[in-house]
Every structure is written in structure tokens, then in C-alpha cells.
Structure 1
Amino acid sequence: MRLDRISLVLMLGMILCMPASGLAQSRQNGGPDDRDKDHVDPIYAGTLPPPPSVRQDLYDRYDTGQKALDAEDDPHMLASPASRSLNVSFEPGAQIPIVRLAQGYPAAITFLDATGQPWPIAWDLATNKAASCDDQGKSDRPTVRAVGINACVPQAGSNVLQITPVSRYPRGGLLVTLKDAPKPISFMIIAGTGAYDADLTVRITRKGPNAKEQASALGAVPDTSDPVLNNLLDGIPPMEAVPLLVSGVSADRLRAWKLKNTMYIRTTFELSSPAATSHVSEFDVTAYAAPFSSRLLVSIGERLVPVSVQEDGP
């Protein structure tokens, strides 16, 4: 009787041990585990696409990383572009112009002569037959010397210089030699936050190699020393000037202001009457100062077109 009980216990033990040993053998042989399969997240099992909330979370984390890499929240990277012009003279004792830059923002300097025509940057055709701007904005041209910045001329005969700071606060200067100029033009570089010179126009106070002959009524040499006219070229009229209503031509091509007995005109036409007392040109735009008159004559090609101006009254 005792032997029968022992045999029964051994048989039950063998029966209970068989599934466990089979499961262990299945795991050792790399077989599937139904219990593990039940706990696999379907997102990672590939059976279902991830829910929108998971995708949005992954995108937000990636976007945060990109903002950190690009210093999106860095206050030192904030800058606002400015467009302005200044006059430069070759005379001894002339002031050194300042160029404002900001890291990560390219800038351009355009050179014009006293008649408003492009003054090209000197070019050595023997060694520089093509453009000298590489992918980093660098140049090896002897007519441009830059310290603290990358500077280059996009093409031969151009009057535009492209400059890019190489660091956040570069210290240095810039030397530019213009074609047939008596000496190089020196610039001082200032970098930081705030406004930077995205578009700087440099007007040389003498005629260049591409000078345009002026009509006798305008005088031999434009008055580039008049700050009012220089500001008017930049689109800034005198503070106390009264805007005038213009009829006869498009207001986009001729605008006028009155200050006391003087009329200031900014136009793409040539003023024939009244005779201008001074003027400044830049490309196709000219700023005039003339005695006030309600009737103007402007030259459009070979035609004289009458223009009426009047104050905007009640």
C-alpha cells in the first residue's frame, strides 16, 4: 500500500513538471512565449501606427532640440535689418565710416559715385577672371582686405561687396580699393545685437569711371554734403516738411514736400523747372531742392510733362 502511494506521487510530479520543462526548452530554443506576447505594446510590435499624441510628443522633443542647437532663444542672436546710406570722401582727415554687423546675417555694401552711378571695385583680371565668393563668403582678392569678417565680390566689375561676420563680436576693419580710386576706403567693423546694415549704400563725393553727365540746369556736381537730401534719398523727408499732393504723374515716381519756401522732391524723373538749387542722385532716383512752385516740368525721355503740386488743405 505504501509503495502504491509513492508511485502515485511520483507520477503526479512528472505530470506537473512536463509543461515547465517544455516551456523552458521552448525558451532555450528561441520559441515564442505567449505570455510575453500578451505584454508587448502594439506600438512597438508594428501592428498599429502610433497614436497622434505620441507623434506630436516626438516632434516637440525634436523641435526643442533644434531650437537649442540654433540658439533660437539666445538674445544675442536677435537683430533687425536696416537700409541706409552715407558719404565717403578721399580727402585727408575724412571720418572713417562704420559698418554694423550681426552674426548669422549677411550684409552688402554698394558703392556709387557723386552722380549716382555704380563705382566698380577694382579687379585683377590677370589672377581673378571669375567671381571670388566661395561657399563661406570668403575671398582672396588683393583689392579687398578684411579682418574679423568674410568679404567677397560676387563678380568681376561689380560695385557690391558682400560681408559676413565670422563670430559674434568680431573686431577688425575692412579696406576696399575701387577702380581708378586714389586710395582704398577704410571701414571700421562693429558687431552685436540690434540693427545691422543689411543694405549699406556708400556714395563717393567725386565722379567715378562710370559717371553720368548731368544736365547744365542741375549744376556740374551734385551737392552730396546736404544731409536733408541724403536722408530724402533714403526715404526720410525733413521732419517739419509738409507733404504735397501730386497730380500729372504717378505718386510712386514723384513725391514732394514743402519746408518754408523750399520744395523737396524725390523722383525718378529729371526736374526741368523750376531750376534745382541742389540735388543728389542714387541709381535712377534723384532728390532735389528747389524754390516752391505749384507747377513743375519733368523730363520723361524726350517729353516735358507738366506736374501740379499743392498742399493738402481742408
Structure 2
Amino acid sequence: MLAEPSAREHAPRQLTQQELDTVRGAVVRDAAGAILTPGEVQDLRDRGINAQSAANWPGLSRDTLPEAEPRVIQIADASKRVPDKITLAIGVVTPITFLDKRGKPWPIASVAYDPRTFSQDGNGCGNNQQQAPAALTGERPTTITLMPCRYQTFGNISVSLEGLGTPIVLLAQSGFGTGKMDLPVTVRLTGASPETVAQARIDETERKSRALIRAYNTVPAVPPGVDPELDSFLTGVPPKGAQPVRTDLREVSAWLYNGRLYLRGPVTVINPAYDAMGAGTDGQFIWRFNTPMARVRVVLDGGEERPVTIGL
């Protein structure tokens, strides 16, 4: 029979230091081979960025980026005009400003559009907010912003301006390989905006006030030795013997005194020529006519011009 091997013969042999170094080196080389080099990392990063850029490219692969061109649209009568077309670009917010003939801003009352096609001032393209007037409180805007929801879009936008009966309609498109975009867009109308009209009224009132002040400074309120009672009429307390006279304007009072006609009120006499006048601190004026007359023409405090009939 064969003899069983002893436990000594089954014990593993210890590796020599040289063998251990060989095994360790092989493990390190295998681990190092699994780590990407800096060049390989950069190559993968570039591939990812290029893929992302290709996915987000605003158009077809053969298209170039659109060139921006300012656009000015002149409108005389919106009711008889074929809508103008503006070109937009995906990812680009286009401001559209409305001005009157003097270049003054024209307030926007409301805007109508398809929110599935365009985003107006951030509303649209999935941001489902109910369309509302451009401004509910405070000052109305005079500029809106428009952006297409997709690369290729076509539709229209209707803008109602304050005080204008007909809305401004613009056709809008994007894509289709145009290679350009309208940026910014300015719409100029031949009329006057409500703000311009209101400012013109204020300017006219100020002009007439300055003219009245100049007239008061150049014409003596009380000619020396001629009419010492002029101030009495100005205060509304006429001197004794003054005869009241009826007028067809409630704000104007009239008297006959010493053969002369006196008119008092917050008005400016423009015809006929007066012989003396005075102004009070309460906005009242007194006008004297040496020859009484039955009709004079005045300008009211608000700027309205009208005749005043005197019942002599």
C-alpha cells in the first residue's frame, strides 16, 4: 500500500519576495488599465457637448444662425392695411414697441394671440396663463415681447392700443430657413397717442397762463387816477352804485358803473380789447371796458374758447 502524504507535504509554499513583487505589479497594471487617460476623458466630454449642442441647435443641421435686423413698420390706417409680417427666431425674445407720429409711446390695452404658437411676455408655450389685458393697474406698457414656441411657426398677434378703435394685426413666423430675424421691431402710427393729446392740452393751458401773466405784467391793473375801484370789483364787492348785469355764463359776473362795463370771473378776454384788468390770488380776473358791449369772447380756465352774452 502507498503511504499517505504527510501534513508537511500539503502546506503551501511561501512566495518569495520577487514573486510577490511580480503579482503586485500585475494587479497595479490591470487597475491602471481600467482608468481613462486625460485625453480619453476630454474626448468623451467633447462628444457629450457636441451631442447636446446638436440636439439644441435652433434649426435644421444645414441652417446657420439668423442675423438680426431692426424693423420699423409705418401704419396710417390699420383698418385698411394688409397685416405686416415679422420674422422671429426660436430662443430669441423680440421686443415690439408702439409709438405715435411724434415718437411718443402708445399704451397697449390688450393683446390676443395663440399661446400654443407664441409666448408673449412669458405667457405661452406651455405656461398656461389666461390671456388678460396688458395691464390691469398702473401705467399700461408700450412694449411687448414675443417668442415662438417651436422652430417653425406661423400665426398672428392682435394688439389693441388705448384710444384706437382698430387693433394692430401682425403676422409672425419663424424658421423656414429665412436666415434672418426682425430685432427689435418698432410700430409707428400716424396718429397721436392719448398721452400726447393729454400733454398737448397741458402745454396749451400753460401757454395761455403764461400769456395771461405777461398781459397782467404789461397792462396796469389800476391806471392812476382813472379807476380806483377796480380792486373792489375784483374781490366781488362792487362799489356803491354799481348795477349788476346778467350774463349767460354762470362763472362770469358783470356790472355797469360810471358808464363802464366790468366783467369778473376765471376767464381770459381775447376779444374785444379791454381797457384795464386785474388779477386776484384766487384765480379770478376783472376786466374793464370803457364802452359797454353785449358780447365778448373769452377762454375758460380749462382752455375752452367761447362767447359770453351780456344782458345790457
The TM-score, its normalising length taken from structure 2, stands at: 0.47
Q: Rg bigger for which structure?
A: 2
